[in-house]
Every structure is written in C-alpha cells, then in structure tokens.
Amino acid sequence: MSDNIKIRYEARAAVLKALGHPSRLFIVDELAKGERCVNELAALVGADMSTISKHLSILKSAGLVNDEKRGNSIFYRLAIPCIVNFFSCVESVVKAKAQAGLDSL
C-alpha cells in the first residue's frame, strides 16, 4: 500500500472507527431524529456526562457531528445524514451472522 493510499484509508477508517462503539452508534441514531444536548444524551445512554462528552468529541473529530452552543447548553447534530443510510446494511450483516449461527446448530 503506497503512502498516499494508506493516508486515504486511514482517514476513512477513522470515520468508521468513530462509529464502532455502541454508545456512539446510539448517539448517532438519536441525532438522526434531531439535535440533542449532552445532558439529554447522557440520560438516554445512561452514562456519566463526561463519558458522553468524550464520545461526542470523538464523533466531532471524525467529522460526523456538529455542535452549537445556545444558552448554557451545547446542541449536537449530525453533520452528514447519509451515515444513517448505512445502518440497514450493517443490520443485514448482523442478521446474516445471527442466521449463520443458527444454521450451525
């Protein structure tokens, strides 16, 4: 793999890596419904707000979400909504895998 290609795949992998955590995936799904503040997301996920804040900063670094401060809350929203279109394909992988598991019984 040449350096150029490597850099390109690293950039793409960073996006997928950011999505590769259950809480972050849940957050993205939630933001697909509309903007949410950190507080709300922390309650929905059921984790410490500092933990959610760090997850959001990972999503933001990956370019997946934007934030906007209003009052003393910070609202996050999806930067690129097409992300959500992929989830049905991911789900088909999960389902095919589950089916393969059943087949082997």
Q: Calculate Rg over the CA atoms of the chain.
A: 16
CA distance 37 to 101: 39
Q: How many C-beta neighbours within 10 Å does residue 43 have?
A: 12
Is there binding between residue 57 and DNA (CB under 7 A)? Answer: yes
- Choosing among a second copy, DNA, none, which partner's interface includes residue 16 (Cβ < 5 to 8 Å by kind)? a second copy
Q: Which stretch binds a second copy (CB under 8 A): 10-18, 31-39, 48-56, 68-76?
A: 10-18
Is there binding between residue 69 and a second copy (CB under 8 A)? Answer: no
Find the binder of a second copy among 4, 33, 46, 103 (CB under 8 A).
46
Find the binder of a second copy among 50, 51, 53, 94 (CB under 8 A).
94
Count of positions on this chain that bind DNA (CB under 7 A): 28
Burial of residue 9 (CB within 10 Å: 0-12, 13-18, 19+) is exposed
CA distance 6 to 44: 37
Catalog residues that contact DNA under the rule CB under 7 A: 17, 20-21, 23, 37-40, 42, 47-58, 67, 69, 71-75
